[in-house]
Structure 1
Amino acid sequence: MTVDSPRSANPWLIGLGAVGVAGLGCVAYGALVERNWFTVRYESLAILPKGSEPFRVLHLSDIHLNLGQRRKTEWLQRLAELKPDLVVNTGDNLTHPEAIDPLLDALKPLMQFPGVFVPGSNDYYAPRFKNPASYLAGPSQLSKKRNPLKLDTERMHAGFGARGWVNLTNRNQSMVLKGIRFDFSGVDDPHLKRERYAGWPKGTTDQDSSPHLKVAVAHAPYQRVLDHFTEDGADLLLAGHTHGGQLCIPGYGALVSNCDLPTWRAKGLNDWESGGRTTPVNVSGGIGTSRFAPIRFACRPEAVVLELHPK
């Protein structure tokens, strides 16, 4: 009796199968591992007035807190161990309408330190499901076809303010911290085109000649915003929004920035030049994700510590 030899498997099918398995593995890794693999990025800048003591800024952005996120909550609470001199929150704190109280609880240990904040779009409106591929076509937009689900922004901001954090939504404010005068100027979310420039705080007639640091704060780092603050003399600009690209290619980086910022600037500390001036800009890769896209790949969730030193 003869036995027929089995047919050779189609190499194309084998290849497609391998790609499919690898893709599923990447999705599982990004959803189950990396999105909860929190890290702290450290940067150093010599921008303080001469003779100043070193100063530590903790930059938080895009927390996107959902219900039941125990690991994220505990990690946020442990950040208080870094003992920052200032906390800067650049918005998009929520991804669920009922997450305001859990958010305030998660940030409570950090609210013993001075802080400032501006909102992002997901502090005003809850996210809705959308095709992830749409991000490749350009920055996301608020749907005009469906009524957006509004969040209780005022209650969240009141919770921040009750613990001493300063609201910089289209406002400016001066604060003296560790003997250094900080002049802050913040804007509402440029992604929603809500920014209105308040300029820098006005004080004494010799305020520009006395030692100080001008810090600009925004959620989304659109080029028009970076241009404005750079040309207006900012010494430092802090923003978020991009999620660092969220799904990145190892060795290449972000595919999108969800704004008009070049993708190679989607995360990190870089110099921005405009009008003959240069300002260091830190774009946070963010801490969370939308609850409808709970995955990160080659882009760990991060908080940023900026160690500031005298010039």
Structure 2
Amino acid sequence: MARWKAYFSFKLWLYSFRLKKFLGYWLAVFSVIWTFTEFSGYFFTAVDGSPWKPNVWGVIGLGIVAAIWMSRPLLRRTVLLPDQEVMLEIDINDMYARQDGAWIIPCNRCFLHSHIDEQAIVVQFRNRFFPSPADFDQVLAQVLQNVPYELDTVRGTQVKKYPIGTVVPVQLHGTRQTAYLLATSELTSQGKGDPNLNHLEDSLKSLWSYIAENGNTEPIIIPILGSGRHRLVVSRYVIIGMIVKSFLAGLAQRKFTKRLTIVMQPKAFIHNQYNLDEIESYFSCAGKFEFDSKGL
């Protein structure tokens, strides 16, 4: 339902619907339909023996409907970067509705989730794919048992804190679906996210390195990290740029996927009204610049 609201949002059509494009499609469709009807009238006749003629307004209306459909705004934009042989994609969607790639799930350094609200990506993952929070914690503990940590106190409880950039791979039972839980943020002693742009940059670099060494070449689906509960005070445009820049820098070292999909929640899109045409244009240009992975 939220995706449909995003599709029919006023500013999506304002930004992405182009009158010139619509008129071009309408003239093309009208010409094709009219040529076909003239062709049909040559071979077919009406009951009274006169050449068959369609309703002119019907032809015009059909052309308008077809042109609107062909020039409609799209909530998913994909750009091929031929030099890197990789696709960049932006999709206004629920990340878990996309099951054609590995999910990237942002977490705090402690991988705590019991105190987080139900809309958080990691909590949605836990609730959708695990019988209980305890089962989810058990999976995390198994993967993290050999990862170095330090002890700290959060909300009055002693917890383990893992390095920023720690990656926890999770293979969903009975499926081929993979998820990578990524430590992107610090937690305060009150259990709140501590915004830090450097942490996000470091965690992205660690993520691409981990997938290159341990993952396979399946597509990657990543949300706009830090744009919600991590409280980063930068726009989603900036975070998208960070994700793409670090991804291309990692790809320059070793190719580990053929597609990166960045997903934006429909509610966030409706509330902020981002211009997908601008994001698509950025994707088209991103691969034409040289990225220095040592500088990230």
Q: Which has the higher contact order (CA 8 A, sep 6+)?
A: 1
Larger radius of gyration: 2
Normalising by structure 1, report the TM-score.
0.28
Structure that is richer in helix per residue: 2
